[in-house]
Structure 1
C-alpha cells in the first residue's frame, strides 16, 4: 500500500509498504499534499513497466 505522510521538516512524502508492513521505497519531500499524491499516481503508472538493470 502507499502512504502519504507529513515530513518532519515540512512538506509531504509517500512510501510504499509491503504486505508484511516493511517499507519498500519512499519518495522525495514534496511541498504540497497534492504533489505527493501526483507522485503516487506516477509511481503506480510507471512501476509495472519499469525495467530492472543489474549494475553489480
Structure 2
C-alpha cells in the first residue's frame, strides 16, 4: 500500500509491503496534493518500470 505522511517540512509517500515493511519512500513535497500525485504516478508507472543492475 501507499501511505501519505506528514514530515516536518512537508509531505511524503512510502510504499509498504504485505509484511508491513517499507519498500521505498519519496522525496518530501511541499503540499499533500503533490505527495498524493507522486504516489499515483509511482503506482501507475511501476508495472512497466525496468530493473537496471548497476553493480
| Same-fold call, TM cutoff 0.5 | yes
Distance 2:52 2:12 in 1: 25
Specify every segment of 5 or more residues in structure 2 that has no aligned partner in the other structure, as ranges: none
Equivalenced residues, count = 55
Alpha-carbon offset, residue 13 of structure 1: 0.1
Q: What root-mean-square deviation, in Å, do the aligned CA atoms of Structure 1 and Structure 2 show?
A: 0.6
Matched, 1:15 2:35: no
Q: 1:38 maps to what in 2?
A: 37
Give unpaired runs (5+ residues) of structure 1: none
1:3-28: CA deviation from partner (whole Å, max 9, x where unpaired): 000002x2000000001110000000
Cα distance in 2 between the residues matched to 1:17 and 1:45:
16
TM-score, normalised to structure 1, is 0.93
TM-score normalised by L of structure 2: 0.95
